[in-house]
Amino acid sequence: MKHTLLLFVLLSLISFFGFAQIKYDLGNQFIKDSSNFRLPNTVMPELANWFWFEKEFMTEGYKEYLDKVSKHSTFGLVSVSIRMHRRELTEDSVHTQLKLAANYALAHGIGLTADLDVRAARRYFEAHYPDELQEMLILREVDLSNSKLTNVVVKSHDISDHYTGRTVHYIPLKSQLLRVYNYARDENGIEMNSLIDITKSCKITYSSKDSIVIELPKTKFAGSTKACVLTSFTHLSPDVFAPHLLSFQREIINRFRDIPLAGVFKDEWGFPLSHDKTHTEIWYSKFRAEDYAKRTNGHDLLYDCLIMKFGWKGELGEQQKAINYFMAQSLERNQMIEDDFYHAVKESFGPNAVILAHPTWWPFPNQLEYTKNGLNWWSATRDWAQTDEVTPFAVRTALSKKWGSAVWYNMYYSSKIEDYPIALWSSALGGGRISYHPIFPSTEKNKNIHFDFLTKPLLIAESRIRLLNFISQAPLDCRVAVIFGHANTMNWAGAQFDDPGMDLVSNLWREGVATDLIPTSEIKNGSVKIDKDGYVYYGKQRYDVVILYHPEFEENTTGIFFSNPNLRSTRLFKLGSWTKNFDAEPINSLDLLPKKMSTINSNTEVVSEVLDIFKSKKIELQSPAILLLKGFNSASNAPPTTGFCYLTDGTLIQIAATQNNAGDPIHSSVVIKNHTITFDAEGLAAARLDDQGNLVALAAGGLRSFSSGTFALQIKEPLDLAIWKDENEIWHGVIQGAKGKIPVELLEITKDWVQLEIPTPMIIE
């Protein structure tokens, strides 16, 4: 009987909302909370993040947060990250408390997703696989003396991140001397005939877990005064190349499979953080060295690390080649781990379990991220597009295409309450939503619940924007893609190191040209394709223009893709040279790229060409991205809080929230598909027409009137609402924030209405 009732409820909801897919499971049963604050799990949810400390592990310590979430927020999916003092995921107390919390959350209509990353069980991993821990290779160059011995002191680092802040850091456990080289070198590199291995002539005079002292001999050869000491420090973290890492990852996930979780996540995966920009601190292990040897026909990774750092004098190719293979190794191994995590969760929790959290650590595509994960953002498998902090919008929109995600989610926090509504409205105009992170840095007042940001205007704004989730399953329409050379931007011996094209992308967004940023590795793995009409496409996005940005070191797959005779409709441009292949061997790109691909010499020239194409093809520009995202020593452009945009299904979204956080008046008359539509609304106004100009979807905040062709709606009292037709041309609707009888003029459209409530903001004591 219980299963029959459950099936009836689910089928009824699917029928009402007109969508055939369930995006995520709320455990093993669907419980609708009586407050009616939350969205059903047939549309994209509203996300929040919850960090567990000692308080949550007290008896019923999880209840305070969940009680307040259920009463004072619209969050339907809450991600739990366990930042506890000296606890690990493998402890029974963690499993017990998480299970109690998940069941309690379900009873309040809230789904929990849990952070089940192996980094939260590092001591357990060490106990079972002590020889599979991560090492850091430190290269220390010194000048040798021809008259006395040289002592070299090398110390390790205290490495910490959000997984270790309240527990043991990635502490060093062991030091080793691996290799010492002697050579002659100037600013142009090492003299090729001068390099010798002098490791056996060196002596360790002191060693501990975190430091080592090596005694080097006198120099034997005139001019060969340089020596490089290669030491390794083993840290308390699983080696990214550990043979048992994938099985251990699955073991951790399986430990929690009996808990009714809506999903599982891992956050900012990759090597432990490193801020080194000198290429003298390299994540290393014997397993990585073995993998590198297989990729390079037997190359010695330690030897190549020296060459990657200093290069050969007069021979740049070997250095560039080694870097290409080394960075590709980081990219491919980390994306393999992410993908296996994704499939392991689906196997343990079912196909509707959602895999969340962002792969972005340093929220900008630069060399710090290359070191962390090989810039694997586009290949880190997720159900929905996920980023954080100031990740550029061009990355967010591209990820929504890659993962078929109707919206992208950006984990957002600020120390200023007034920043939240700005981020919320700007995100909506860029095709995304906020995943709410507590105010950071926290204060004494907000350190436990962190709900200061949930002001009444913000709750109204969030509730209005979520109406879009009912009327569209399409991402932001970005008709231009910048596809950057993935190997090139990561090669520090190349001319365009650390340049993935962000200046060009920001220039385009500032002109109202929404643009996706994609690496060439997405061509290699088959994600970027050509459709039947001859356009380049990515997910649901078809591109009118593609700019190949600095493709130096590309593999043949890139040339083969763009030379495909079926690619006949997308305009192609190239900015930057392509003179070497992946092995850093000279090539002629004229033999690899089609003649129809125009060569452009500057960002300004690209923008001018794109604007001309848009004008000739009568493609609508979107609102110029005039806001500036700043932070983490980076800057990029973002949409404003008043403007308009289009989704790939043709939905027009208008937003106005510059003066009032809850929304400004919208009195608009715009043309869609040669049909004029008018709005009198507040904060949000969105509509979609079919090819005949008939209305198929509408969402608005504070709606007073709307008209389009034969459809007209006039409401006495302004309402937040959404209406849409399903595949059978049947209307459905949602009213928000209004109680009592449904107005007659709405009942004339459809009898199928759901009324959503807006919660009362929490009072901060």
Q: How many domains are there within the chain?
A: 4
Among residues 30, 174, 53, 192, which one has the least CA distance to residue 111?
A: 30
CB 558 within 8 A of CB 523: yes
CB 643 within 8 A of CB 623: yes
Pairing of β 515-519 and β 480-484? parallel
Predicted pLDDT at 448: 54
In a domain, 316, yes or no: yes
3-state secondary structure of 140: strand
Same domain, 148 and 110: no
Same domain, 318 and 193: yes
In a domain, 261, yes or no: no
3-state helix, strand, coil split of the chain in percent (to 5) is 30, 30, 45
Residue 304 structural domain: 126-241+272-330
Q: Where is the domain boundary, 281, 314, 330?
A: 330
Same domain, 495 and 605: yes
Q: Where is the domain boundary, 415, 445, 471?
A: 471
pTM: 0.94
CA 53 to chain centre: 25
How many DSSP H helices and E strands does the chain contain?
A: 19, 37
Handedness of CA 630, 631, 636, 642 (dihedral sign): negative
CATH number at residue 110: 3.20.20
In a domain, 764, yes or no: no
Same domain, 97 and 60: yes
Same domain, 117 and 132: no
Beta bridge partners of 170: 159
Same domain, 544 and 615: yes
Predicted pLDDT at 13: 35
CA 514 to chain centre: 18
If the chain, 765 residues long, is cut into consecutive pieces of 10 residues, what is the mean pLDDT of each piece? 33 33 41 68 91 91 93 94 83 96 93 95 97 98 94 95 87 98 96 96 97 95 92 98 98 96 94 95 98 98 98 96 98 98 96 94 96 98 96 98 96 92 98 92 61 88 96 96 98 97 98 98 98 97 98 96 97 97 93 94 97 97 97 95 97 98 96 92 97 95 94 94 94 92 93 92 70
**Cα–Cα dist 414/423, whole Å:** 10
CATH number at residue 605: 3.40.50
- Please enumerate, as own/partner, the contacts of 176-179 that have beta carbons within 8 Å and a separation of 24 or more: 176/212, 176/231, 176/232, 176/233, 176/234, 177/202, 177/204, 177/212, 177/214, 177/229, 177/230, 177/231, 178/137, 178/230, 178/231, 178/232, 178/302, 179/229, 179/230, 179/302, 179/303
In a domain, 651, yes or no: yes
CB 683 within 8 A of CB 662: yes
**Cα–Cα dist 373/206, whole Å:** 34
In a domain, 668, yes or no: yes
Predicted pLDDT at 442: 67
Among residues 37, 32, 124, 114, which one has the least CA distance to residue 80?
A: 114
**Cα–Cα dist 459/478, whole Å:** 29
Same domain, 284 and 145: yes
Angle between the N-to-C axes of helices 286-295 and 317-349, in degrees from 0 to 180, rounded to the nearest 10: 110
In a domain, 516, yes or no: yes
Among residues 359, 351, 345, 337, which one has the least CA distance to residue 255?
A: 345
Same domain, 232 and 351: no
Instruction: Determine whether 443 is exposed, middle or buried from the number of CB atoms within 10 Å of its CB (0-12, 13-18, 19+).
Output: exposed
Same domain, 485 and 501: yes
Residue 39 DSSP class: P
Same domain, 293 and 415: no
Same domain, 607 and 643: no
Q: Where is the domain boundary, 471, 499, 523?
A: 471
In a domain, 213, yes or no: yes
Pairing of β 652-656 and β 642-646? antiparallel
Same domain, 357 and 502: no
Residue 92 tokens, joined: 């029974």
In a domain, 686, yes or no: yes
